[in-house]
A and B are shown apart, each in its own frame.
Chain A
Amino acid sequence: MSPRSDNPPIPAATDPAVIRNFCIIAHIDHGKSTLADRMLQTTGVVSDRDMRAQYLDRMDIERERGITIKSQAVRMPWSVAGTDYCLNMIDTPGHVDFTYEVSRSLAACEGALLLVDAAQGIEAQTLANLYLAMENDLAIIPVLNKIDLPAADPDKYAQELANLIGGSPEDVLRVSGKTGVGVEALLNRVTELVPPPVGDPNAPARAMIFDSVYDAYRGVVTYVRMIDGSLSPREKIQMMSTRAVHELLEIGVSSPEPRPSQGLSVGEVGYLITGVKDVRQSKVGDTVTTSNKPATEALPGYTDPKPMVFSGLYPIDGSDYPILREALDKLKLSDAALNYEPETSVALGFGFRVGFLGLLHLEIITERLRREFDLDLIATAPSVIYEVMTDDKKVAIVTNPSEFPGGKIASVREPVVKAAVLAPKDYVGTIMELCQSRRGNLLGMEYLGEDRVELRYSIPLGEIVFDFFDHLKSRTQGYASLDYEPMGDQEADLVKVDILLQGEQVDAFSAIVHRDKAYAYGVLMTERLKNLIPRQQFEVPIQAAIGARIIARESIRAIRKDVLAKCYGGDISRKRKLLEKQKEGKKRMKMVGRVEVPQEAFIAALSGDTESKEKK
């Protein structure tokens, strides 16, 4: 008989003493969602019949990639020794790009499960989130997952976790989300170790928004944690950052399907629906109060999400531009961090300059655009925010190389991040080499256990967004993990390198790079384009330039023969069809001056995919 609660506490009438608010900190594939599913099943909030894999991950893309993008909260009853508890599990996103959302989820909890794969040990992002949880003074419950795996080495990693958070290896719980082993003990441990919430039930209501989700049918669903006071149905609520007042259409808890309640009282976790259509009106981190009896002070820690990485998104078929615009407008409803403005490019046509929280955010958005809106897209090389001061002391904020001011430059500042890389110790040399080549400064190095090392670097974000992660993974056979957080900016000797085709600048290939790497970038791009652009009737010079100074040059020799030598009776239909096909191909050509460039060549050059090189 499992200790499922027979008499679950009722929302809006739950004694804070039996509430346990906790989250799970885990790396992408360490089994968080599977464990969460098992808890839903064990506590009985989801019947065995309704159980489906990764119940909480709503978006297809989340389920497929096995990662959680948007966090959710679930209320679960659990009975221990005659006491009926109310456990609120807040599911946090697991990636560095969403650190801010993670920090808000943590602020909504009193405890955190530190979930680590018993076959792999802790990863950089988990470590970063663990430190975040420790700073927030959360009770940490170390848990090793996947102990059913043959490769699991729980003794080794229990020691590693004990070294990290203190305590003894015996305190580390061992579970399997897959088989359910240890899940009951884990739930019991939560009631034991996570402190109950403390808040003033009589103070003006203050609820912290830790997630805000757009639902096509219901509008924005806002997830909150009541810090002080309480909220009840049909009250008017107010957002403290904007002072905007909304009607409260529905209030309730998720378990895990939304269930309307008589309100939320101090310490509880639940959702609000106000009928707003855009998550920007209900931002993560903001404080919700009532308009009748508003609180005077907002909860600390609110910041507007700031894009760190920018990329141009262009439809491959120019006529898809309106669809792209609509698609972005739609995604924006559910993603407060997404922002964009129209942009045009000689090479790529009409598109949008889009700001992202980070590379994964970029990848997720482009993937959703492709999948949910059936768009074929090209993304230009990601860029970061530069602050460029010209000799006349004017400062320009540059998120796109094309905005880089001409003329004399006094200084350029670039964002820097604190990066943590975790890897087996054998890879230290190769990681240092990589970080060194990306202008990294070693801040420190620490052994986590016998054979794993954490390396901390300060490194320009611009270096990280440009294929750093791919290199890191390939050089460490996938063993290294990376996390970073902003640590200000620095002055650097950066220049803009332009690529010219027959003297015409090809905007999509301009890049802001360190002066020491300008030549290498110039050589790389001119060579790539030389191999990708088909020969024309005339010779085509390809140059890389800093301002007016040419730093690299290649040329595409003129084509001399394209005729099919033989064209007799049986060849005519074939020849005509070939011509028609070439005509179709011409539609996908872009003119740069007099040079015809197939769109694929731009795409391949941007993606570095020189394998798709066309036969000349």
Chain B
Amino acid sequence: MPSVLPDGIPAPSDGVLPVSARVGAHTRNFGVYVHIPFCRVRCGYCDFNTYTAEELRGAARSDFVSLAEGELSFAQRALAASGIPERSVNTVFFGGGTPTLLPAEDLVRILDTIRDQWGMIPGAEITTEANPDSVDRDYLQQLYDGGFTRVSFGMQSAVPHVLATLDRTHNPERVPLVVQWAREVGLGVSLDLIYGTPGESLGDWHTSVLAALACQPDHISAYALIVEEGTKLAGQIRRGVYPEPDDDLHADMYELVDRLLGDAGFEWYEISNWAQTLTDRSRHNLSYWTGEDWWGVGPGAHSHVGGVRWWNVKHPSPYADRINAGISPAAAREILDEETRRVESVLLRLRLAEGLPTTQLTSEGRLAVAGLIADGLLDPGSALRGEVVPTLRGRLLADTVVHRLLAETAD
């Protein structure tokens, strides 16, 4: 998650949600996100909420399990006090940071707590992010034995000079190895790639995508590099060490990865995500785009329950203080009204291959559909079936499409 928190309204210290959050709760899935805010080194492009120190005041790495357990137990109380019916967990996702910097038994213990507290649906999806150089076969085996079903490796690139620019320290040759181990122990595997790193050519990107495919994962995410303010990379670009990112090159790279993955039997299901089969899609990530409920555990983690979004304080020390005091770690929250929820739904579902039902558009929005089809931005076949699905060009211009669907053009 980005390190800059949005503006919101104060969140109550008991974490109790407004009555509106209850409406339809039993129809929504429930998931848990666990944010592990530690990394061995900070990468130059990264603005995520993560820390490299072993010991932060009151929030050492070794204390993290008990803090996570503390928040989970707080979550159970707050949801119950809000009148939200208890639901079994559909998906769990460990992200960071580098979750695998913690011993595997720590991750398993947190997962056990979640299971003990709420129960899991059969076939629940349990994922962790991992760095190729922070796991071995044994570690992966322990995850599998503890109930994990999926691992997502931060491969980013297979080209050494690109990895160096990103400050990634792993040896690219290790990636096929860890993927093989993960598959051998029985875990589903996703690879994360980044394109558009300064100095990366279309040829470099081609090499990386082929290298990722050669590992035979069942899921690939590919993100355009975003230069976030305040990162080391942003400073380097400002000083002219690296050139500004080029959106046209990004578009070429996106078209290339979409073609290569398509040729290899992958299908896009979200703008930056491709999967081999329907079951390989990340159900946890899909829940973000379809408005399900999830509780985010850990410093800076974001949550959503029934139209209420909140986010925890960022730094691990005040986070630890609040958890230890038994009060909500939320920094602020926002309560979305009907119209805002509709806007979010248009914004998020437009990213999906399953599309947006035209019923969610206003009459002006529906009028805009024909023009968007004419401009080659929406798929005509899906529109006939009552669904708005972007074409390849429309995916790249999703902002424009969203604005036009929300009927927000200049006078």
A interface residues (Cβ-Cβ under 8 A, vs B): 537, 557, 559-577, 579, 582-583, 586-587, 589-591, 596, 616
Closest residue of chain A to B350, judged by CB? A563
- Smallest CB-CB separation from A536: which chain B residue? B400
Let me know if B33 and A569 touch, CB within 8 A.
Answer: yes
CB contacts (< 8 Å) of A589 on chain B: these are 410-411
Q: A537-B397, A560-B248 known; A573 and B302 CB under 8 Å?
A: yes
The answer to the question of B173 belonging to the interface, with a C-beta cut-off of 8 Å to chain A, is no
Cβ of A565: which chain B residues have Cβ within 8 Å of it?
222-224, 226, 271-272
**A616 smallest CB distance to B (angstroms):** 8
Q: Choose among A563, A570, A576, A616 the residue that contacts B343 (Cβ–Cβ < 8 A).
A: A576
B residues less than 8 Å from A569 (CB atoms): 1, 33, 288, 294, 296, 302-304
Residues in A with CB closer than 8 Å to B347 are 575-576, 579
- Complex formed: what's the CA distance from A574 to B302 in Å? 11
Pairs of residues from A and B, 9 with the lowest C-beta to C-beta distance, nearest first: A570-B1, A589-B410, A560-B251, A563-B398, A565-B224, A570-B302, A562-B399, A561-B251, A573-B6
23 contacts between A and B (CB under 8 A): A537-B375, A559-B397, A560-B247, A560-B393, A561-B248, A561-B397, A562-B400, A563-B395, A564-B226, A567-B288, A569-B33, A569-B288, A569-B296, A570-B2, A571-B2, A572-B288, A572-B304, A573-B302, A573-B334, A574-B6, A576-B340, A582-B408, A586-B409
B304 touches A583 (CB 8 A): no
**Minimum C-beta distance from A323 to chain B (A):** 20
What number of A-B contacts does a CB cutoff of 8 Å give?
121
Q: Chain B 340-379, CB within 8 Å of chain A: the 1/0 string? A: 1001100110010000000000000000000000010100
Q: Are B1 and A571 in contact (CB under 8 A)?
A: yes
CB of A379 to closest CB in B, whole Å: 22
Please give, as numbers and ranges, the residues of chain A lying within 8 Å of B403 by CB-CB distance.
579, 582-583, 586
Which of the four size classes fits the interface of chain B?
35 or more
A569 to chain B, nearest CB (A): 5
Contacts A573-B6, A574-B6 known; 19 new A-B pairs at CB < 8 A? A559-B247, A561-B251, A563-B271, A563-B399, A564-B226, A565-B224, A565-B226, A568-B1, A569-B33, A570-B301, A570-B302, A573-B302, A574-B2, A576-B340, A579-B403, A583-B406, A587-B411, A591-B411, A596-B410
Contacts of A583 in B (CB 8 A): 403, 406, 408
Question: Nearest residue in B to A598 (C-beta to C-beta)?
Answer: B410
Closest B residue, CB atoms, query A349:
B411
State the CA gap A582–B398 with chains docked (Å).
13
B33: chain A residues at CB < 8 Å are 569
**Chain B minimum-CB-distance residue to A574:** B6
Determine how close the nearest CB of chain B comes to the CB of A357; give it in whole angstroms.
Answer: 36
Chain A's nearest CB lies how many Å from the CB of B254? 7
Contact B311 A570 (CB under 8 A): yes
Shortest Cβ distance from A585 into B: residue: B410
- B16: chain A residues at CB < 8 Å are none
Q: Tell me, yes or no, whether B285 is within 8 Å of chain A by CB.
A: yes
Q: Does B22 contact A (CB under 8 A)?
A: no
Cβ of B396 within 8 Å of any chain A Cβ, yes or no, is yes
When A579-B343, A586-B409 are in contact, do A568 and B397 touch as well, CB less than 8 Å?
A: no
CB distance from B61 to the nearest CB of A (A): 22
Give the one of B8, B311, B340, B409 with max A CB within 10 A: B409
Interfacial chain A residues near B251, Cβ < 8 Å: 560-561
Q: How many whole Å from B301's CB to the nearest CB in chain A?
A: 7
Using known A-B contacts A537-B400, A569-B296, determine if residue A561 contacts B247 with beta carbons closer than 8 Å.
yes
